[in-house]
Amino acid sequence: MNEILSVDDLVVEYNRDGTKVRAVAGVDLRLEKGEILGLVGESGCGKSTLGKAIVGILGAAEGEVIFDGLPVKKLTRGKRPEHFRNLQMVFQDPYGSLNPRRKIGAQVIDGLVIGGMHRSKALARAQELLATVGLPADALGRFPHQFSGGQRQRIAIARALAASASVLIADEPISALDTSSQAQVSNLLVNLVHELSVGMVFISHDLSIVRRISDRVAVMYLGKIVETGTVEQIWESPAHPYTKALIAAIPHADGRSSMPADLPGDVPNPMSPPSGCRFHPRCPLAMPECAVVEPEFVTLADNRQVACHLQKAGQEPVSLELIPRVPAS
């Protein structure tokens, strides 16, 4: 099996005004080597929090992250730094993750030396890594402010590779870049994933780019994954009403978006999530049981997973087009 990362029933909580808020409310995910998993959902649904919990920046209240066959919780303190070096996060703002006062070479070499490489070899390897991400060798002697946003993101990726990352959690890595840099950096990430057999969770609000580069997609709503499937399944025949609404929200060629018509209301407050199915107050297909019973995350006959009472484990997905829409009261 090529599985490199799994997340089992992960819960991440924070405290707001004395109330415990579950930003991630029991998430299961799988990632294989050489695979790109797109993670999508509206702003505030918990995508970034989930990413930070996977790489250990945030602690999990419950559940488990298993990386390369090892449950992170069971690692000894001594083993943890090495373990987390292999799980690297690429952030939206690469400038914030680079030290503005240190030359790029020193920052890339750090990861190699910490990983056990002798300094004499690390310089040559750093040059190779910069070439891999499309930067000239003289970049080693320059400071972060001497690069464009797209180049800084390339440096951040080179630094992650210097740490021997086998999983990248890329959190909106191209959303702050101009259009041409977006295409270049996303193509670079796809090539690296496939050539180096790195697994990548690609967190983005841009569904068009997720569709273009991902192998599979996980859809998140209010702290929970509601559907995972291949790009084709998610786009051609979504099995969860939220997935359907999200896909419909992609702007048309004329700039229109059908989101407001298909999905009334705002994302509920995570401090007091709705009972039953968290999506029921906004779901055009909600039934009485949806407000009471939380749907299980089940695997359908076509191998996708979904949490909706309309879909049954082991059966072919029911087309949402055939289900009568319940008028909003």
| Amino acid residing at 61 | A
Total site size for ligand SF4, rule CB under 6 A: 14
Q: Which listed range, 3-11, 71-79, 196-204, 278-286, lies at the site for ligand SF4 (CB under 6 A)?
A: 278-286
Residues 192-251 interacting with ligand SF4 (rule: CB under 6 A): 240-241
Write the DSSP string, 217-280: EEEEETTEEEEEEEHHHHHHS-SSHHHHHHHHTSPPTTS---HHHHS-SPPPPTTSPPSSSTTG
Q: 296: which residues sit within 8 A by CB, 6+ positions away? A: 307, 313
Position among 280, 300, 304, 317 found at the interface with ligand SF4 (CB under 6 A): 280
Q: Which listed range, 22-30, 44-52, 106-114, 308-316, lies at the site for ligand SF4 (CB under 6 A)?
A: 308-316
- Min separation Cβ 188 and ligand SF4, Å: 37
Q: Among residues 279 and 297, whose Cβ is nearest to ligand SF4?
A: 279
Position among 72, 165, 246, 308 found at the interface with ligand SF4 (CB under 6 A): 308
Q: Go through the chain and tell me how many residues it has.
A: 329
Provide φ and ψ at 210, rounded to 5°: -60, -45
Report if residue 45 touches ligand SF4, rule: CB under 6 A. Answer: no
Provide φ and ψ at 30, rounded to 5°: -130, 145
Q: Among residues 94 and 238, whose Cβ is nearest to ligand SF4?
A: 238
Position among 157, 277, 300, 304 found at the interface with ligand SF4 (CB under 6 A): 277
Spatial strand order of the sheet with 224-230 comes to 87-90, 167-171, 199-203, 36-40, 216-221, 224-230, 305-306, 298-299
Q: Among residues 135 and 306, whose Cβ is nearest to ligand SF4?
A: 306
- Containing 130, the helix (H) or strand (E) segment is helix 119-132
Query: Which residues are bridge partners to 171 per DSSP?
Result: 203
The CB-based long-range contact list for 295-301 (8 Å cut-off, 24+ gap) reads 297/28, 297/225, 300/239
Per-residue mark of binding to ligand SF4, 283-302 (x: CB under 6 A)? x-xxx--x----x-------
Q: Among residues 144 and 284, whose Cβ is nearest to ligand SF4?
A: 284
Helix (H, G, I), strand (E, B) or coil at 199: strand
Q: How far apart are CA 87 and CA 267, in angstroms?
A: 30
Position among 279, 297, 300, 304 found at the interface with ligand SF4 (CB under 6 A): 279
Q: How big is the chain by its Cα radius of gyration, in Å?
A: 21
Q: Among residues 149 and 274, whose Cβ is nearest to ligand SF4?
A: 274
- Min separation Cβ 19 and ligand SF4, Å: 25
CA angle 135, 139, 143 (to 5 degrees): 130
Q: Which listed range, 33-41, 46-54, 160-168, 281-289, lies at the site for ligand SF4 (CB under 6 A)?
A: 281-289
| Site residues (vs ligand SF4, CB under 6 A) | 240-241, 277, 279-280, 283, 285-287, 290, 295, 308-310
